[in-house]
């Protein structure tokens, strides 16, 4: 909860990837708050008032995942909504702005985005969802110490550069510093 709040303010892409991780963490505990509490939350070293807020947050997420039938796959509706909002911002940057840097970064990443889109079983709805999926998968591969090819690392670097730029622009837009 604490990390999510900060990431949502500072880097929307990192926030979304973090939420993918939280969703999988909840799934690994069968979307059962009591199990999650026992396996994870009791180990948190936080003041009681902070721990209480963290528990409320996780309990609400468990409830939502169960209500939205996300026990095996998928994303919470508010996460989907945020991805859609970032996707809309991505299109506005491409179509309505004169941001040549963003367009250049997108053109560099586009072939790999399309190639990866064809490999993802769940068929992401947007290029931004593909990028988020890719970087989340890279994180998992690194945690598992899976070998990563040079070609994959190059694509991931391009994806990361694109999302970092998009997130910075989005932050500026949300702060009212730019208009599109």
Span 152-173, mean pLDDT?
97
User: Does residue 179 belong to any structural domain of this protein?
Assistant: no
User: Does residue 167 belong to any structural domain of this protein?
Assistant: yes
Lowest mean pLDDT among 6-20, 29-43, 117-131: 117-131
User: Does residue 54 belong to any structural domain of this protein?
Assistant: yes
Asked whether the predicted pLDDT for residue 97 surpasses 90, the reply is: no
User: Does residue 6 belong to any structural domain of this protein?
Assistant: yes
- Give the model's pLDDT for residue 76: 97
Q: Of 67, 91, 106, which residue sits at a domain end?
A: 67
What SS3 string covers 67-132? HCCCCCCCCCHHHHHHHHHHHHHHHHHHHCCCCHHHHHHHHHHHHHHHHHHCCCCCCCCCHHHHHH
- Give the model's pLDDT for residue 146: 97
Asked whether the predicted pLDDT for residue 123 surpasses 90, the reply is: no
Based on the domain organization, do 136 and 154 belong to the same domain?
yes
**pLDDT range class, residue 35, cuts 50, 70, 90:** very high
Q: How far apart are CA 133 and CA 120, in angstroms?
A: 9
User: Does residue 124 belong to any structural domain of this protein?
Assistant: yes
**pLDDT range class, residue 120, cuts 50, 70, 90:** confident
- Give the model's pLDDT for residue 49: 94
For 63-88, how does the pLDDT look when each residue is reduced to its tens digit (9 = 90+)? 999 999 999 999 999 999 999 999 99
**Which residues form the domain of 161?**
77-174
CB under 8 Å to 34, separation ≥6 — which residues?
none
Domain count, the chain: 2
**pLDDT range class, residue 102, cuts 50, 70, 90:** very high
Q: How far apart are CA 107 and CA 97, in angstroms?
A: 15
Based on the domain organization, do 87 and 142 belong to the same domain?
yes
Burial environment of residue 4 by CB neighbours within 10 A (0 to 12, 13 to 18, 19 or more): middle
- Give the model's pLDDT for residue 176: 94
What are the helix (H) ranges across 28-76? Answer: 33-39, 48-67
């Amino acid at each position: 909860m604490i990390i999510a709040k900060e990431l949502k303010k500072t880097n929307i892409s990192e926030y979304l990837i973090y939420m993918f991780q939280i969703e999988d963490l909840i799934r690994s505990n069968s979307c059962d708050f009591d199990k999650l509490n026992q396996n994870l939350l009791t180990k948190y070293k936080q003041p009681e008032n902070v721990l209480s807020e963290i528990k409320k947050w996780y309990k609400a997420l468990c409830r939502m995942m169960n209500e939205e039938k996300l026990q095996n796959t998928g994303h919470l509706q508010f996460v989907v909504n945020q991805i859609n909002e970032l996707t809309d911002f991505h299109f506005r940057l491409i179509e309505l702005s004169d941001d040549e840097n963003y367009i250049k970064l997108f053109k560099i990443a586009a072939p790999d985005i399309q190639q990866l889109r064809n490999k993802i079983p769940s068929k992401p709805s947007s290029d931004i969802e593909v990028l988020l999926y890719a970087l989340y998968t890279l994180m998992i591969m690194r945690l598992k110490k899976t070998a990563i090819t040079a070609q994959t690392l190059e694509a991931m670097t391009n994806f990361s550069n694109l999302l970092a730029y998009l997130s910075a622009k989005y932050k500026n837009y949300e702060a009212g510093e730019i208009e599109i």
